Structures are given as structure tokens and as C-alpha cells.
Amino acid sequence: MNIGILTGGGDVPGLNPCIKQVTYRALDEGHSVTGIFRGWGGLLNLNPSDPASLPANTIALDKLNTRTIDRTGGTILWSSRTNPAKTAPAKAPEFLRGNGFDPNAKTLDFTPHVLSVLAYLKLDVLIAIGGDDTLSYGARLHKEGFPVILIPKTMDNDVTGTDYCIGFSTAITRSISAINKLRTTTGSHERLGIIELFGRNAGHTSLVSAYLSSADRCLISEVPFEIEHLAELLMKDKRANPRNYAMLTVSEGARSVTGEIVEREKQSYDPYGHKKLGGIGQVIAADLERITGQATVPVALSFLMRSGPADTLDQMVARTFAHCAMDLLESRTFGRMVAVRDGRYTHVDASEPAIGPRQVDVEALYDKMEYRPRLKRALDLPMFLR
């Protein structure tokens, strides 16, 4: 079989190990592997009538060009947030602006073109690695009749259908390290440390980072906060600390009870309709300084959370997810997403990610009044709290 593989959405550590493992096993079993550049963008921008378009958007993967990629983060296939089913006319490739092209349409659906490109490439199956947006479009292709196998990745760990996504462990590891390093300067100046972490619709990164780093308080996307109450709690923490400082983690999607989610660029949306978030940490820091009179150390970890090579756990999951995908391929079981459920590797229907993001179980894991992690019961919880 000729296997296509792509990575879409934000990069995370673990993508390259997954790509390598798929390639090695596929070649060992007599298959060929075609890497597709820039996620769904590679299929959208490939023009079968232009010979130069093929090497610009695809690459034949082998053991030589994937031999060392597992040692680095990111993805050798590049990535994008392209959505072929909802492409703005201005983003459409020139060669697709022919008969029937409507420059005034809000979005255009180029799925028929994507299917024709898959046929042109003579692919038998497509393995798509991504978050809920990338995977949802993969499920669309399955509904159109093309064989797909999905692999979940996102440092937010919020894909529905799986307890774990590639990238989460490394993001938490990076966050904990940064939080503990920031303690020295925050403590030296007796300030309030405000650490903003990625997490649009789900607060797993803020919650688990606070839990494992013993941050004093944490704000998550699922629970609106009251700034005066937060200030009171942090000042209590600061006074109780011999070094006279306190630490707070914040999901980028957190919002106050009276405010809205903070957008990095007003009225700016990605191809999947998501607002571009960022800046809540700075807003909270300014409010806390106004209320408490205390200086703050606001830091947005941002892309540092998903930079660099994968940690041991993400190496393990990425490689094993690759084997799970190949197991499904060998049994000709398509339209599935590989997953971890209750501590075991398994697979679920490809439509699961389209249900929407998996959020924190607030009642089981979070104290809404104290703004901090709280496990009311640990027995029977999955390894990755949810």
C-alpha cells in the first residue's frame, strides 16, 4: 500500500518520532510512505497539472531521511491550520480560481479537489496526525469514502475520545521547569508570579502544571474567576510564604466573571473559526497590581511549551500510536482514531474529535472557590487526570 502521512495544526514534541515509526514499520512490511507537507495545505495546494507542485508539497519518506528526526521537536513535514472545507477565497490557490469560483463567498469547500489529489498521488490510506480540527477534517474524508486513520496530538490534551494526546507530557514538563525557575526572581523581588499557559477551551495544562509544581493558585478555561477574590487568595498565599511571594498559573482561555476571553488580535480567526487568544496573563497582572499594590511577574510561556524534543512519555506514546495506526492498517480497519483509554492503547470512531474539546472534570479535579487543583478522590482515576 502507498501510505500518506501529514501533520496539521500546532506542532508538538513527538510528531517526528511518530512519523519515523510509521515509516520504519511500513517499509519493513513492504509499503511505501508519502509525506505531505503543511498538513491539509499540501493537498489543497498540490496542482496535478504542474510538475513542480509535487516536490513542493510531498516527499517520499524512507529510513535515511527519517533516521534522526526523532531526536528533535516539531515536524519535518511542516504544519498549517488549513481547512480545505472552509477556505477563504483570498487563500485559495490560483489554479483553483476557475469556473464557479466565487470571490465574494465567505468560505469555499475544496474537498473534491483534495480527493482528486489523493487519487493523483495513488494513496491507499491517509494517516493524519493532529488536534480536533485536523482530525475532524480527516473524518470528513472518511465520510467521503477515503480510508483514513487518525492520531491525536495536542499539548492541550483535549481531544475527545482519548485520555492522552501526543505533546501533553512534554508541555507540562516544560511548564513545571519554567514555573520553578521563575520562583527565584519572583521570590527575590517579593512579587506575584503570573504564568499564562496555552489552553483555549480546556484547562488541563494549567491544572496539571499547578498540581505538579505546587503553584499556589490556578485558573482554568472552564471556570470564570472573580478578580477581587483571586487577589485576596494570592495575598494570603504571599503572606504565608517565608519568601513573601505567590505563583499563579492561567489558561489562555480563562476569563473573569465580568469579562470576555482575551484575544491577541481582535476579530481575527483561524481557518477553523477559532479566535486567536493570548494576553489574559497581562490583564490579570495589571488588575492585581491595581487591587493589591503589589508588583507582578507576568510571563506567557506560549510556544516554549511545545518547543524542543519530546520527553520520555511522549516518545513512548508517539511511537506506540504509530504502531497502533499500522495495526489498523494491516487489518484494513479505517475511519478510526488511535487512543489511550483507561490506561490501554485502543481505537475509537473517527467522528469522536468532532464532538468538541474534552474539558476538565471540574467537580472531580478543581476547587472553584479556592482556584486550585483538588482531587476529591484519586482511586479509579485514569493516569492522566480527566
β-bridge mates for residue 349, sequence order: 336
Answer whether residue 7 shows pLDDT above 70: yes
In order of their start, the domains of the chain are 2-166+310-355 (3.40.50.450), 169-307+361-373 (3.40.50.460)
Please identify which residue in the block is written with the cell numbers 493523483.
120
The pTM (predicted TM-score) of the whole model is 0.94
Q: Residue 195 has what pLDDT?
A: 98
Per the CB < 8 A criterion, the answer to whether 336 and 350 are in contact is yes
Amino acid at 72: T
For residue range 48-74, what is the model confidence (pLDDT) as tens digits? 999 999 999 999 999 999 999 999 999
Between CA 385 and CA 207 the distance in angstroms is: 10
Residues annotated catalytic, as ranges: 156
When pLDDT is cut at 50, 70 and 90, the band that residue 265 belongs to is low
For residue range 314-373, what is the model confidence (pLDDT) as tens digits? 999 999 999 999 999 999 999 999 999 988 999 999 999 999 899 999 999 999 999 999
For residue range 216-240, what is the model confidence (pLDDT) as tens digits? 999 999 999 999 999 999 999 999 9
What is the Cα Rg of the chain in Å? 22
Between CA 24 and CA 287 the distance in angstroms is: 53
